[in-house]
Structure 1
Amino acid sequence: MSGETLTLGVLPLGRPTFDVAFAEEMLAGMMADLKATGHHLVGPEKLLMDAASTEAAMADIKVKNPDRIIILQVTFTDAAMTCRIADAFAEPLSIWAVPEPRLGGRLRLNAFCGLNLASHALGLRDRLFSWRYAAPHTPGIETMLAETPMVVPLVPEASQADPSAGATLLAGLSGKSIARIGAHPDGFDTCAYDSAELARLTGMKVSGFELPELFARARSTPESAARALKAEVGDHLSGMDKVDQAELDRSLRLKLALDGMKADGGFDAFAIRCWPETFTEYGGAVCGPASMMGEGRVPCACEADVYGAATQLLLQAASDQPVFLVDLVDLDASDDTGVVWHCGQAPVSMADPDVVARATIHTNRKMPLLFEFPLKPGPVTFVRLSQARGQQSLIIARGEMLKREMAFTGTSGVVKFERPAQQMLERVIDSGLEHHMALAYGDHVAALESFAAAAGLPVVHL
């Protein structure tokens, strides 16, 4: 393909809940780099913020007979439109996502997470693609435009561990119950599940509820209970008086509602559709309540991620510690580190002891209660009970959480993985890993490998 002028169909995807001005700056740089290749570009040079504008751009590109389709993952988006694009075009597909500086502020783009969702969704569809994760004006754009896809699917391997210890873990999980509250968001194939398959694999069972039931429970919580919880949380969280008090009250009531559901149903974990309805219909965040529940050994998975909740229960049993369901939001080869993050729901025992945890608001939805702190240093284990590429497997990684300043608002930590960051980046995309992994402090890989052997699960080591 060297020297050949191609027609590149370009689709820049974004969401208005992120930093649009910064996204437009990144997009301008990406477009300049694409134009500098000398190829013929077709498609809009503005962010496509919704399905209607994306569909219109796709139709316009279609009639111009592109040689390759390039999705510019400028901010986070779910994978719905990526899959629609992949279905509509048989031509080779590329995805370019951009990193952002770790400045201690909000995640302004969160584009890597969008790439992560896309790689999982395309992996389920056996659609190979080329990709890059690089800032504008970084050399190497030609590699993404090469004819051969860069994704090399990882093949899970049978665990060689002794299954005896894992059999005890597996037996302990059997009969555990997860309450799923609401459905996972559209475009989040990472959070889809089959309750019968999960039961066959682990013995766990899932009960479904709708969000209005959680909201009704929260609203009916006695005033005295809400006041008592506020006082309790204020003992170890600064800044409670600096957030909207009515929204704070509603958020705390979600914690009490979850407590009530646990007491009534005997649930061991929750998988909750956390956005947008907790903000738009109820008026308070469930992130802080999820942190508190996790600290109490009742893990909560956001985005109604049932397999995420199941993974948390597994790692909690293997580690005998609270766990944290994280997004991997950056991998930086130059620093040889990654960043794991979530809005503000890590168990507070994971806070760096030199930092006072504080109350904050959701960066996109602007409501409390979220917890904010950098994660403490120490060895960590990551795991995901995965359905990547349509195959059940256990995906495991090890690393060391470093003592660093907070990379992004919420709860985040800078981690040095066992493998170099560039290799981790490639293996995360190649594996088709879901965007949520469970994290616990300590090295629990041997126990997890033994569990995989007992459960008959093949393993991928990132």
Structure 2
Amino acid sequence: MKLSYVPIVRPMFRGAQMGLQERTQEALEALAAQHGFELQVCSAVAEGAEGEALAQQFSADPPDLLLLQHVTFATGDLVTPLLNLDMSTLIWALPEAFEQGRLPQNALCGLNMTVSLPAERTKPVRWLYGGPDDAAIHAQILISLRGAAAARRLAAAHILQIGGSAPGFYRIESEPSGDIQHEALSTLIDAAAQAEPAAVPDEPSDYPPEALTEALKIETALSAAAQGYDAVSLRCWPEIPEQRGAMACLACARLADRGLPVACEGDTYGALSMLAAQTVSGQPSVLLDLTHTAPDALMFWHCGNAAGVWAIETRIEKHFNRQIPAVRGMTLRPGPVSGLRLLENGKALVFSGEVVSRESRYEGVSGWVTNFRMAGEALSSRDFLANILEYRIPHHLVFALGDCEAALTETCLWLGYEVLQARPASGVIRWK
């Protein structure tokens, strides 16, 4: 992740000689060292030509996040060239160093003027106001950087769609804009027939190694097809089990172990959501169905498609319906999780919760989640369920490990997705 810091400083203000820019630079350098991102410190912009030069530089080599700081007041000719860059941007104004005498900086007024300017951009900007050592400012910079880096990766993502969506799954037939390549399912099935099986998994199994041959050949073929892509959506039934005698679930789980998101049942928005969740969290994401309720929790489940990091123990099992090999069975590891579902028309569901330990589980991958938040608002399990139904959210929800709700929300901000807000349950579904 790369953050470019541009101080805006008019030398005629006495605040320009108070070391505020230097204090900010030191704080950002410490933040970069602690969290492992690249920091580019740019020369201060004091004249319009300097802003123009930096804008050309960033056009050729853009950072993930641009941080403009009003150390002092500045007029539009300084900042407009940078505002016209359609990239993720923070504008930070420093409080006044003194409250009497000559006005030191007039930085807040500069921020006010800058955000009012008629810039030629589609992306929003986020404003910040606080001192160089303000911990809340630092936290927001980190969240914005994570979200901006994820948004940039998604905007450039290469996604492979194999076979269309599962039969009758009309809602997930829709696809996001972007670089999506389509491949016939028959191509993958033919490749699996000729493939060498992948290495036998080193984990407990209900099957002897020879019984996994077809499932491991599917893994080899799917891995080869996915080369050069950031994520895959796969029509995983009915043709694959009917023609190859094995499920693709284990292959999806094992590819997730290696960092490739594979969305089940041909769900391309699901694949993009998985890529976003994985990029933000730094660990494999998982796509699950909402299947059951308890008074204080909701059960999420899928056939057996999750990376091993999601569980304390895993086991290779038969498919719950077809009773053929092979899926990865597991109970979700207790702890905080976050969630995302990118939707048509520029909308997004962002949520968080906590996986809790319960004895009950379904075959495949399953787990109980409670303590929900949606768009930052705490919800009971019942109210979260109501929002899923009443917003008509597709039945696939994507989960990320850890508490990264804020960074997922920030990703949506920079991508231009509107995050759905929690609303009271009504018991009414409206099609519109």
Query: What's the TM-score, normalizing by structure 1?
Result: 0.57
CA-to-partner distance for each residue in 1:242-285, whole Å, 9 max, x for gaps?
x9x44x2111111111121123xx11111110111111122110
3-state secondary structure, aligned to 1:240: coil
Report how far residue 406 of structure 1 moved.
Answer: 4.3
3-state secondary structure, aligned to 2:413: helix
User: Counterpart of 1:250 in structure 2: which amino acid?
Assistant: E
C-alpha distance in 1, partners of 2:160/2:235? 11
Residue 177 (structure 2) pairs with residue 198 (structure 1) = yes
Report how far residue 461 of structure 1 moved.
Answer: 4.6
Task: Give the aligned partner of residue 214 of structure 1.
Answer: 188
Mapping of residues 52-63 of structure 1, within 5 Å: none
C-alpha distance in 2, partners of 1:262/1:427? 35
Task: Give the aligned partner of residue 241 of structure 2.
Answer: 279
Report how far residue 460 of structure 1 moved.
Answer: 1.6
Task: Give the aligned partner of residue 199 of structure 2.
Answer: 229
Task: Give the aligned partner of residue 308 of structure 1.
Answer: 270
Q: 1:448 aligns with which of 399, 404, 408?
A: 408
Q: 2:333 aligns with which of 371, 376, 383?
A: 376
Task: Give the aligned partner of residue 207 of structure 2.
Answer: 240
Mapping of residues 353-368 of structure 1, within 5 Å: 353=312, 356-368=313-325
3-state secondary structure, aligned to 1:327: strand
Q: 1:425 aligns with which of 374, 385, 388?
A: 385
Task: Give the aligned partner of residue 401 of structure 1.
Answer: 355
Task: Give the aligned partner of residue 174 of structure 1.
Answer: 155
3-state secondary structure, aligned to 1:434: coil
Given that 2:144 and 2:407 are in contact with CA atoms closer than 8 Å, whether structure 1 keeps it comes out as no
3-state secondary structure, aligned to 2:397: strand
- CA gap of 1:449–1:159, structure 2 versus 1, over 3 A, is farther
C-alpha distance in 2, partners of 1:325/1:427? 18
Q: 1:348 aligns with which of 308, 313, 316?
A: 308
Residue 220 (structure 2) pairs with residue 256 (structure 1) = yes
Report how far residue 159 of structure 1 moved.
Answer: 11
User: Counterpart of 1:315 in structure 2: which amino acid?
Assistant: A
- CA gap of 1:459–1:260, structure 2 versus 1, over 3 A, is same
C-alpha distance in 1, partners of 2:243/2:392? 33
User: Counterpart of 1:282 in structure 2: which amino acid?
Assistant: R
C-alpha distance in 1, partners of 2:421/2:367? 21
Q: 1:296 aligns with which of 255, 258, 271?
A: 258
C-alpha distance in 2, partners of 1:461/1:282? 44
Task: Give the aligned partner of residue 22 of structure 2.
Answer: none
Task: Give the aligned partner of residue 343 of structure 2.
Answer: 386
3-state secondary structure, aligned to 2:266: coil
Task: Give the aligned partner of residue 436 of structure 1.
Answer: 396
Relative contact order higher in (CA < 8 Å, ≥ 6 apart): 1
Report how far residue 164 of structure 1 moved.
Answer: 4.5
CA-to-partner distance for each residue in 1:172-223, whole Å, 9 max, x for gaps?
22322111110112331331224xx522xxxxx111111111111111113x
CA-to-partner distance for each residue in 1:22-73, whole Å, 9 max, x for gaps?
xxxxxxxxxxxxxxxxxxxxxxxxxxxxxxxxxxxxxxxxxxxxxxxxxxxx
The structure number with the bigger radius of gyration is: 2
Report how far residue 417 of structure 1 moved.
Answer: 3.3
Task: Give the aligned partner of residue 293 of structure 2.
Answer: 331
3-state secondary structure, aligned to 2:205: coil
User: Counterpart of 2:188 in structure 1: which amino acid?
Assistant: L
Given that 2:154 and 2:275 are in contact with CA atoms closer than 8 Å, whether structure 1 keeps it comes out as yes
3-state secondary structure, aligned to 2:156: coil
Larger mean Cα displacement after TM superposition, 276-285 or 307-316: 276-285
Displaced runs of 4 or more, over 4 A? 158-164
C-alpha distance in 1, partners of 2:215/2:189? 10
- CA gap of 1:159–1:384, structure 2 versus 1, over 3 A, is farther
- CA gap of 1:349–1:432, structure 2 versus 1, over 3 A, is same
Report how far residue 286 of structure 1 moved.
Answer: 0.2
Larger mean Cα displacement after TM superposition, 180-189 or 250-259: 180-189
Unpaired segments of 5 or more residues in structure 2?
1-123, 128-139, 373-378, 423-432
Task: Give the aligned partner of residue 428 of structure 2.
Answer: none
Given that 1:326 and 1:437 are in contact with CA atoms closer than 8 Å, whether structure 2 keeps it comes out as yes
- CA gap of 1:272–1:159, structure 2 versus 1, over 3 A, is farther
C-alpha distance in 1, partners of 2:174/2:215? 28
Task: Give the aligned partner of residue 134 of structure 1.
Answer: none
C-alpha distance in 1, partners of 2:385/2:144? 33
Report how far residue 325 of structure 1 moved.
Answer: 0.6
Mapping of residues 63-212 of structure 1, within 5 Å: 164-165=144-145, 166-194=147-175, 197-199=176-178, 205-212=179-186
C-alpha distance in 1, partners of 2:258/2:171? 26
Task: Give the aligned partner of residue 80 of structure 1.
Answer: none
CA-to-partner distance for each residue in 1:408-441, whole Å, 9 max, x for gaps?
1101011113221111121111111011111111
Residue 230 (structure 2) pairs with residue 268 (structure 1) = yes
C-alpha distance in 1, partners of 2:240/2:421? 36
Unpaired segments of 5 or more residues in structure 1?
1-157, 200-204
CA-to-partner distance for each residue in 1:273-331, whole Å, 9 max, x for gaps?
01111111221100010001111110101110000000000111111111101111123
